[in-house]
Amino acid sequence: MNNHEPGWLDKPRNVTRIVYTLYAICVLLLIADLLYTKHVHFAFEGWFGFFPLVGFAAYLFIVMSAKLLRRLIARPEDYYERKQRGGSNDA
């Protein structure tokens, strides 16, 4: 398979298909919440759309806050190696 031909996933049309499939499954899963009796430990688990909401919101929060974290803690790749040579920037 060592060639430069674009693969199936390199075509944007196919990627869009996958994404729309995901959207459709998500809609079905949301509707599923209405169709069965949830067995829950906490009352809030039983709310309509609780798990979808947690999944979506938690993911957004993690990724967006990590972007902020990166501003704080990201450094050049040779950060430590550079310091090991007596603090000079001769790396």
Partner 1 sequence: MLESLLNPALVLILGGLLVPLLRDLPRKLFMLALPVAGLALMVWLPTGDGGVVHMFGVTLETLRIDKLSFIFGVIFHIAALLAVIYALHLKDTVQHVAALVYAGAAIGAVLAGDLITLMIYWELTALSSVFLIWARRTERAYHVGMRYLIIQVASGVVLIAGIAVRYVMTGSVDFERMSLDEPGAWLILLAFGIKCAFPFLHNWLQDAYPEATVTGTVVLSAFTTKLAIYALARGFAGTEMLIWIGAVMTAFPIFFAVIENDLRRVLAYSLNNQLGFMVVGIGIGTELAINGAAAHAFAHILYKSLLFMAMGAVLFRVGTIKASELGGLYKSMPWTATFCIIGSLSISAFPLMSGFVTKSMILTAVAEEHLWVIWLVLLFASAGVLDHSGIKIPFFSFFAHDSGKRCDEAPMNMLVAMGLTAALCIGIGIYPQPLYSLLPYSVDYNAYTTTHVITQLQLLLFAALAFAVLYRRGWYPPEIPALNLDTDWLYRYAGRRVMDGAVAVTQGTGDAAARLGAYCWAQFDRHALSGVREQGWLASVWRSSTLVWWAAALIGLVTLIGLLQ
Residues that bind partner 1 (CB under 8 A): 1-4, 6-7, 9-10, 19, 22-23, 25-26, 29-30, 32-33, 36, 38-42, 44-45, 51-56, 58-60, 62-67, 69-70, 73-77, 79-81, 83-84, 87
Q: In angstroms, give the least distance from the CB of 5 to partner 1.
A: 8
Whether residue 40 contacts residue 34, with contact meaning beta carbons closer than 8 Å, is answered with: no
Q: In angstroms, give the least distance from the CB of 31 to partner 1.
A: 11
Q: What value does the CA radius of gyration of the chain take, rounded to a whole number of Å?
A: 23
Give CA–CA dist 16/21, Å, rounded. Answer: 9
CB nearer to partner 1: give 13 or 39: 39
Quick one: tokens of 73? Answer: 């803690």
Give the 3-state DSSP-derived string for 46-72, with helices as H, strands as E and coil as C.
HCCCHHHHHHHHHHHHHHHHHHHHHHH
Q: In angstroms, give the least distance from the CB of 89 to partner 1.
A: 15
